[in-house]
Amino acid sequence: MPGQRVDVRLTAEDGYTASREYSIASAPGEPLEITVQRIEGGEVSPYLTEEVRPGDQLEVRGPAGGFFVWDGAPDPMFLVAGGSGIVPLRSILRHRSRIGSQTPARLLYSVRTTADIIYRDELEKYGVRYTFTRQRPDGWTGYSGRVTPAMLADIAWPAGANPVAYVCGPTSFVETVASELTAIGYPPQRVRTERFGGA
Amino acid sequence: MSPVTRGFRGRRNPESASRTPPGQYLTKDFPVLSAGPTPVTRLEKWTFSVTRGDATLRSWTWSDLRELPYDDVTVDIHCVTRWSKLDTRWRGVSIDTFLRDADLEDTVSGYVMAHSDGGYTTNLPLKDLTGGKAWVAYEYGGQPLAAEHGGPARLLVPHLYFWKSAKWVRRLDLMKVDEPGFWENYGYHMYGDPWREQRYDGD
């Protein structure tokens, strides 16, 4: 289902292995695609983003995960991404588009600058709304700064619409947005979260 | 052996290799991986109970908890998402102490469903909670446990994958038969031994 993850395992010549989990970026039924952010000083992401060449084979296991997924339900979805948290949300929106679902969906994507946007052209088709936290594009009239309760009150489905929220990104981003959503009336069990990174 | 990944060298840590279960990597961070928002519980309303179905066998308030004998422990923790963190320091009350305080120390068989604020549950054999293997922990690294890490108090069961260490724990329900909790219902392993890599059902 869209929103799931896979395990990628790399094996060195002496048998040493390293494994990491990645959110699936593609929609179900498409060739499997992951999007990897290079972490400075990381063990695996520098290899995947700099060394891997077309034609290389990688050992993958999965998909796994069953909660941060969309099963095609008709309830309005409010998707909130911080940085690389866009990856599983793109999978959900891509799947929704491929199956011709009428489920209403809104996407709020928080990035530092325009250079940090992933899947920019595709996200336009989903009506993405951005907020820029470090540098806005010239002439920008949209949101800026961190996601706030006022911003959510403006863009999120009202709680009365029985929406489900998917929030994904760095831990502190998710903590803030998830608690702000419960403050505007989203029941906690209707706020699904996936946190990347440490705290 | 798995097929060799062209050009991958990796980074080995011989000193800690014996303490890192298979498929894990070491982190100095402390990732947060909850499925939903962080619950907020006021201490004056907080209780911890041992129940058997509808019967509450014993219940402790926050002040009761703070009067029970505690342990300071340093343990390694292992998350199913593959990060491991060594030498984490916690303060908490052992489950043995709770059971003794409730005159239940002779209860040895059966299973437990841990219930948390926010609706999270996870199941464990009772014998994995006794014999000095588990605590209700309220301090981490010498500080009160932060809400996003399970504060005011969480279950701490370091010998199993860390999803069994239920954050925001409020109740242990004694069961005769093992039943799946939240993640177990989504296909995660019923037991979760990191040394046997029991991540998913069927591992």
Domain assignment present for A70: no
Using the CB atoms, write b or e for A178-197: b if 16+ within 10 Å.
bbbbbeeebebebbbbbbbb
Q: Cβ contacts (< 8 Å) between B119 and chain A: which residues?
A: 188-189
**Is this complex's ipTM strictly greater than 0.85?**
no
Q: Where are the alpha helices (DSSP H) in B7-70?
A: 14-17, 62-67
Domain assignment present for B14: no
Domain of A82 in residue numbering reads as: 77-196
Q: Cβ contacts (< 8 Å) between A56 and chain B: which residues?
A: 5-7
Please indicate whether, in this complex, the C-beta atoms of B2 and A59 are within 8 angstroms of each other. Answer: yes
Domain assignment present for A69: no
CATH number at residue B120: 3.90.420.10
Q: Cβ contacts (< 8 Å) between A12 and chain B: which residues?
A: 4-5, 8-10
pLDDT in tens, B46-62: 999 999 999 999 999 99
Please indicate whether, in this complex, the C-beta atoms of A171 and B32 are within 8 angstroms of each other. Answer: yes
DSSP state of B35: S
Closest C-alpha among B68, B132, B69, B142 to residue B105: B132
Domain assignment present for B110: yes
Among the partner-chain residues A66, A189, A197, the one whose CB lies closest to the CB of B36 is A189
* pTM of the predicted structure, to 2 decimals: 0.89
A52-66, A158-172, B123-137, B165-179, range with the lowest pLDDT:
A52-66
Please indicate whether, in this complex, the C-beta atoms of B37 and A171 are within 8 angstroms of each other. Answer: no
- Residue of chain A nearest B201, judged by CA positions: A64
B22 CA: distance to closest CA in chain A (Å): 9
Domain count, chain B: 1
pLDDT in tens, A44-90: 999 999 999 999 999 999 898 889 999 999 999 999 999 999 999 99
Which phi and psi (to 5°) does residue A11 adopt? -125, 125
Q: Where does residue B176 rank: exposed (0-12), middle (13-18), buried (19+ CB within 10 A)?
A: exposed
Cα-based distances in Å from B100 to B59, B159, B173, B185: 13, 22, 16, 31
Tell me the one-letter amino acid at B40.
Answer: V
CA distance A110 to A34: 20
A61 CA: distance to closest CA in chain B (Å): 12
How do beta strands A164-170 and B121-125 pair?
Answer: unpaired
Domain assignment present for A72: no
Please indicate whether, in this complex, the C-beta atoms of B2 and A11 are within 8 angstroms of each other. Answer: yes
Domain assignment present for A176: yes
Closest C-alpha among A183, A158, A176 to residue A76: A158
The verdict on A128 and A187 lying in the same domain is: yes
Domain assignment present for B165: yes
Domain count, chain A: 2
The DSSP string of A88-152 is HHHHHHHHHHHTT----EEEEEEESSGGG-SSHHHHHHTT-EEEESS-PPTT--SEESS--HHHH
CA distance B27 to A160: 42
CATH number at residue A154: 3.40.50.80
pLDDT, average across residues B133-162? 97
